[in-house]
Amino acid sequence: MMANTVEADGQLTPEEQKRLTADMNRSLRLRKIRSLLLVAPLVIFILVTFVSPIASMLFRSIDNPQIIEYMPNTSAAVAEWDADSNQLPGEEVFAALVDDLVTGRKNHTIGKAATRLNYEKSGMRSLLTGSARKAARLKPPFKDKLIQINSDWGELDTWRVIKRESRPYTASYYIAAFDMETTPSGEIKFLPEQQQIYLKLFWRTVWMSLLITAMTLLLGYPVSYLLASLPMRIANMLMILVLLPFWTSLLVRTSSWIAMLQGEGVINDVLVWFGLVDDDNRLSMIYNATGTVITMTHILLPFMILPLYSVMKTIPPSYMRAARSLGATPFTAFYKVYLPQSVPGISAGAILVFILAIGYYITPALVGGQTGQFIGNMIAYHMQSSLNWGLAAALGVILLVLVLGLYAAYSRLLGTNNQMSLR
Amino acid sequence: MALPSYAGPLETFWYYAFRIICGMIFVFLISPLIIIIPLSFNVEPYFSFSQGMLALDPDAFSLRWYEEFINSERWMNALQNTFIVAVCSTFLSMVLGTLAALGLSRSELPFKGVIMGLLISPMIVPLIISAAGMFFFYSSIGVSQSYAGLILAHTALGTPFVVITVTATLSNFDNNLIKASASLGATPTYTFFKITVPLIMTGVISGGLFAMMTSVDEVVVALFIAGAEQRTVPMQMWAGIREQISPTILAVATLLVCMSILLLTTVEYLRRRSETIRGITPH
């Protein structure tokens, strides 16, 4: 122990004060480190298993390695060529090209470069693979012989595309995702109206999500109002009817809607039985946009009811009674008193449903047919069928930015600690 | 909300009309789940009610599709895979999520907002985007088409639920209990297992059930990163709905509805229990 820690007037000695402060700082630092250590395993886990995949997708959407990797000589040689010179590249570039074509054909890699160039200019695939088949037999000088094989080698545009895609990074997937194209002269412009796919699909995804949000609000508001105003015991019983669909597998709900809505399905059977619909003229309510909207409204309805209910629960019923006692009609009392107070619930539920709807994939794929597909289905198509992964990644990034922007709005409305109303 | 005694005829009419409208919305919510149950006992290979079923003829009903489900090697294999992946990923989510929630609820943790945002991000990002990203990344590190890859992916998707439920439970936690325990001579480890764990257990379990449900129901990521060997029940259902619609799907769906009833009951029970326990502790 120290001999003297307190001075005559009862104050701590300066050394003692310093020692205490240091002790406290050390203890605080330890506590901070301990709390960080608790969080660290999950933070590292999420960074590795979740954030890196998203980052790798971001990278994939601008990554452009194919030409550099599979046509190394050509991409190096064409870098020297001035694309604005109005002159074809020289013999050395053609020689490099023949070299790449021969090696590429031997290693079966020329197809990958050809596919990449074909995204930019149609016809490039057959140009490359066709020439590669004949390249091994060619003797120098190559320039005229290649042009003889395919006159496209004599086009400046062909070489401009090769030169442009010899860069390690590209914006071309984003350009394609916005239905634009780079003209050979380097201008970026929109495709003609009838060739636009993705903007239309984004637009359809947005308006169908808005429609679904509006439908869930229309159906969810009365139910939440009823649940919030009934006695607790009855409300809890009825809440089961909301929570059970919520806890049931998405695929179960989707397949039961197929059973309900299809031509030979339950709803059509009932309508025919009542004579409302002719037997030969059954309604087609599925494998189109209608099917997607009905099914997704059902699936997302609990996500609207739960936040609405939790807000409505906090509105004192005496307010409505007070309005009535002051002479308001039931409608005015609701419109002027109740509705404004339920707005936080409406906006929270609406943003939540909209965010969830806009990223949907499974339900539109199963019940959407041709007209009920979402942007998510296009991402899956490019991932699994067309194998244009760069474009899939670019579409994914655009969707991600949209969702994160909306989520920022959502958490500002609700405060970050309230996400549990999500589920 | 009983009908007030001063209500006029119009208001009385609206009072009952409103209840009927709400009743219809409840029917809309629940009927798809109810309708598949009788359909799964259909003797015919169709998705609709036969004449015999409507006449309640016992011969029109059968357990045929349930037998098909149990005798199908593919379905049983899928069931086994779903079970393995769900159990492993739920366990991992519960451990990692609970630790993180304990850290997050300490006041001295720096960058709390950023960390919370990061940890719940798997819940916000649309599944198709997570799936695409995981497909690129997991195949580049060589864990796609493996149980390990699927378990890691489902763990990542499930942890936000554990983090959120346990953080919520801890927000009502009375820290004086820890101090009391320490003042009575308990070591921090002893206090943790005897005081903290029992009090947050309800949150941990309900978060775990959410995580399990996520894994059992998850199909988008599984479609992208699982191979044929890891085929899960949702993947099998997805394939079934796309290729040949058979009522076997409805039999599986009925079993899944029963499972969700069970899960819902458990979660509700836990929620009420935790409210009771918290009711005892003074605030």
Residue A383 touches partner B, C-beta closer than 8 Å: yes
Which ranges in chain B belong to alpha helices (H)?
A: 9-39, 51-54, 64-71, 73-104, 112-124, 127-140, 147-171, 176-183, 188-191, 197-217, 220-225, 233-242, 248-280
Q: Which of B109, B116, B256 sits opposite A249 (nearest CB)?
A: B256
pLDDT for A4 equals 65
Q: A230 and B25 in contact by Cβ < 8 A?
A: no
| Closest chain B CA to residue A30 | B108
Please indicate whether, in this complex, the C-beta atoms of B132 and A396 are within 8 angstroms of each other.
yes
Q: Domain check: are A280 and A362 in the same one?
A: yes
Position B1 scores a pLDDT of 56
Does the beta-carbon distance from B35 to A266 stay under 8 Å? yes
Domain shared by A34 and A138, yes or no: no
Among B125, B252, B267, the residue to mutate for chain A (most A Cβ within 10 A): B125
**Residue A231 and residue A155 share a domain:** no
Question: Considering only CA atoms, which of B224, B20, B204, B59 is closest in space to residue B132?
Answer: B224
Residue of A nearest to B14 (CA): A330
Is some CB atom of chain A closer than 8 A to the CB atom of B250? yes
Tell me if B256 and A248 make a contact (CB, 8 A cut-off).
Answer: yes
* CA dihedral of residues A210, A211, A212, A214 (deg, nearest 10): 90
CB contact under 8 A, B253 and A255: yes
Tally of CA atoms within 13 A in the half-sphere of B95 that contains its CB: 8
* Chain A residues closer than 8 Å to B163 by CB: 42
Helix-helix angle A250-261:B248-280, to 10 degrees: 130
Whole-number Å distance between alpha carbons of B13 and A213? 29
- Whether B33 and A36 lie within 8 Å, measured CB to CB: no
φ and ψ at residue A23, rounded to 5 degrees: -60, -45
Q: Supply A78's token pair.
A: 């064409």
CATH number for the domain running over B73-280: 1.10.3720.10
Residues A25 and A144 in one domain: no
User: In terms of residue numbers, what domain contains A99?
Assistant: 66-170
Tokens of A153: 């080698």
Task: Find, in chain B, the residue whose alpha carbon is nearest to that of A266.
Answer: B48
Contacts with B, A 289-318, CB within 8 Å: 298, 301-302, 317
- For A370, half-sphere exposure in the C-beta direction (CA atoms, 13 angstrom radius) is 0
Residues 6+ apart with CB under 8 A from A117: A67, A124, A125, A128, A161, A162, A165
Do A23 and A47 lie in a common domain?
yes
Residue A189, strand partner residues: A181
Residue at A65: amino acid letter: P
A184 inside domain: no
Q: Is A65 helix (H, G, I), strand (E, B) or coil?
A: coil
Q: Is A232 on the interface with B (CB under 8 A)?
A: no
Q: Give the chain B residue nearest A379 (alpha carbons).
A: B128
Res B146: pLDDT: 92
Q: Find which of B49, B107, B124, B272 to mutate to test the A interface (most A CBs within 10 Å of its CB).
A: B124
Residue by residue, DSSP assigns A178-217 as: TTEEE-TTS-EEEPPGGG--HHHHHHHHHHHHHHHHHHHH
Q: What is the pLDDT of residue A422?
A: 40
Low pLDDT (below 50) residues in chain B: 280-283
The answer to whether B119 contacts A422, with C-beta atoms less than 8 Å apart, is no
Q: What's the confidence (pLDDT) of residue B45?
A: 79
| CB distance A65 to A168 below 8 Å | yes
Same domain, A166 and A210: no
Of B28, B126, B130, the CB nearest to A298: B28
The whole-angstrom separation of Cα A340 and Cα A335 is: 7
| Whether B36 contacts B254, CB under 8 Å | yes
B121 and chain A in contact, CB less than 8 A: yes
In a domain, A189, yes or no: no
Instruction: Tell whether A305 is covered by a domain.
Output: yes
Return the axis-axis angle of helices B9-39 and A250-261, rounded to nearest 10°: 100
Beta-bridge mates of residue B42: B61
What is the C-alpha end-to-end distance of chain B, expressed in Å? 32
A38 and B102 within 8 Å at the Cβ level: the answer is yes
Q: Please report whether residue A353 resides in a domain.
A: yes
Whether B116 has its CB under 8 Å from any CB of chain A: the answer is yes
Low-confidence ranges of chain A (pLDDT < 50): 1, 416-423
Residues A41, A74 within the same domain: no
Cβ-based contacts of A223 with chain B (< 8 Å)? 22, 25-26
Same-domain check for residues A118 and A212: no
CB-CB neighbors (< 8 A) of A258 in chain B: 47, 241, 245
Q: Which two tokens stand for residue A23?
A: 């002790």
In angstroms, the CA A396 to CA A381 distance is 12
Domain count, chain A: 3
Q: Is residue A7 part of a domain?
A: no
Residues A226, A354: one domain? Answer: yes
Residue A187 domain flag:
no
In this structure, the answer to whether residues A101 and A234 fall within a common structural domain is: no
Structure-token match 């290693």, residue found? A107
Query: Smallest CA–CA separation between B282 and chain A, in Å?
Result: 23
Q: Enumerate the domain spans of chain B.
A: 9-60, 73-280
User: Do A98 and A45 share a structural domain?
Assistant: no
Domain check: are A113 and A216 in the same one?
no
CATH number at residue A297: 1.10.3720.10
Q: Is A332's Cβ below 8 Å from some Cβ in B?
A: no
B202-232 confidence digits (pLDDT tens): 889 989 999 999 999 999 999 999 988 899 9
Contact of A403 with chain B, judged by CB distance below 8 Å, is answered with yes
Size of interface A-B (CB pairs under 8 A): 265
A contacts of B29 (beta carbons < 8 Å): 241-242, 245, 298, 301-302
Beta-sheet strands, E only, within A123-265? 180-182, 188-190
Q: Which residue of B has its CA nearest to A295?
A: B32
Question: Does residue A183 sit within a domain?
Answer: no
Q: Residue A240: its chain B contacts at CB < 8 A?
A: 264
Of residues A56, A223, A380, nearest to B25 (C-beta): A223
Residue B132: per-residue pLDDT: 94
